[in-house]
């Protein structure tokens, strides 16, 4: 074997064990879809205590913004990824509180369900295999609202997500208290 081929072979073997080469593998690169890119771009705006949790659990599900319709209702779509127990997107951002209508698709061969938060309780949308449905929820106050799939142990295996409602707190809901200490920034 000529020296240049041997050098190339040794370099390839060394690089395949390198952590950075793992990032270029097709299975990793294919997860960098537009919703995941939006998630990565938006994370710096999320407060620090929640940022680590969001980046670890939901990075592969991505992020989408609800679209405000002319009728004042926000709308979005999400999918159950076939054979992966992941919601796509896993994070839905509402620019303010209000009504959200989600069309949920289940292209998977197994049953799923969307257990969604709503003012004063929850809503449940059952999704038989290869089906779609629509669920309407109301979230009036800013904050993080968790949702998941209650079928079997799907939520325990990662089929979770949350709705991030942006906006200010209405005056009647504000607490009269002094500013709270914050963790130092790195």
Assess whether pLDDT exceeds 60 at residue 100: yes
Which phi and psi angles does 130 have, rounded to 5°? 55, 55
Structure confidence at residue 13 (pLDDT): 44
Structure confidence at residue 175 (pLDDT): 64
Structure confidence at residue 18 (pLDDT): 42
Euclidean distance between CA atoms 155 and 28, whole angstroms: 23
SS3 state of residue 56: helix
Structure tokens at 13: 């073997």
> Which pairing describes strands 74-80 and 67-68: parallel, antiparallel, or unpaired?
antiparallel
Asked if residues 100 and 81 have their Cβ atoms less than 8 Å apart, the reply is no
Task: Please compute the mean of the pLDDT values over residues 100-116 and round it to a whole number.
Answer: 96
Our count of domains for the chain comes to 1
Structural domain includes residue 11: no
**To which H or E segment does residue 21 belong?**
helix 19-23
Structure confidence at residue 26 (pLDDT): 46
Structural domain includes residue 63: yes
Structural domain includes residue 110: yes
Model confidence over 48-71: pLDDT tens digits? 544 544 555 556 778 899 999 999
CB-based burial of residue 119 (10 Å sphere; 0-12 exposed, 13-18 middle, 19+ buried)? exposed
Which residue segment(s) compose the domain that 46 sits in?
A: 17-168
Model confidence over 120-152: pLDDT tens digits? 889 999 999 999 999 999 998 888 899 999 999
CB-based burial of residue 134 (10 Å sphere; 0-12 exposed, 13-18 middle, 19+ buried)? exposed
Euclidean distance between CA atoms 131 and 88, whole angstroms: 15
Structural domain includes residue 10: no
Instruction: List the CATH number of the domain containing 118.
Output: 2.60.40.420
Structural domain includes residue 183: no
Structural domain includes residue 175: no
Count helices and strands in the chain by DSSP H and E runs? 5, 11
Structure confidence at residue 32 (pLDDT): 60
pLDDT confidence bin for 165, thresholds 50/70/90: very high
Structure confidence at residue 47 (pLDDT): 47
Structure confidence at residue 63 (pLDDT): 87
Beta-carbon-side half-sphere exposure of residue 77 (alpha carbons within 13 Å):
6
Euclidean distance between CA atoms 106 and 138, whole angstroms: 23
Structural domain includes residue 25: yes
Structure confidence at residue 173 (pLDDT): 62
Model confidence over 2-44: pLDDT tens digits? 555 545 444 444 444 444 344 444 444 455 666 666 666 665 5
């Amino acid at each position: 074997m000529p020296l240049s081929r041997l050098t190339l072979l040794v370099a390839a073997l060394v690089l395949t064990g390198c952590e950075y080469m793992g990032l270029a593998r097709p299975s990793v690169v294919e997860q960098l879809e537009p919703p995941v890119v939006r998630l990565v771009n938006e994370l710096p705006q999320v407060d620090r205590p929640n940022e680590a949790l969001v980046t670890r659990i939901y990075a592969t599900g991505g992020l989408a913004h609800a679209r405000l319709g002319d009728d004042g209702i926000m709308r979005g779509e999400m999918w159950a990824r076939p054979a992966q127990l992941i919601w796509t997107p896993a994070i839905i951002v509402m620019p303010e509180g209000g009504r959200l209508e989600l069309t949920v698709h289940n292209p998977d061969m197994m049953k799923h369900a969307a257990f969604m938060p709503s003012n004063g309780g929850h809503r449940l949308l059952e999704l038989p295999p290869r089906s779609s449905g629509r669920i309407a929820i109301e979230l009036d106050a800013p904050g993080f609202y968790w949702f998941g799939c209650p079928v079997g142990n799907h939520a325990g295996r990662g089929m979770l997500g949350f709705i991030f409602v942006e906006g200010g707190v209405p005056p009647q809901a504000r607490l009269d208290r002094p500013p709270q200490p914050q963790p130092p920034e790195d």
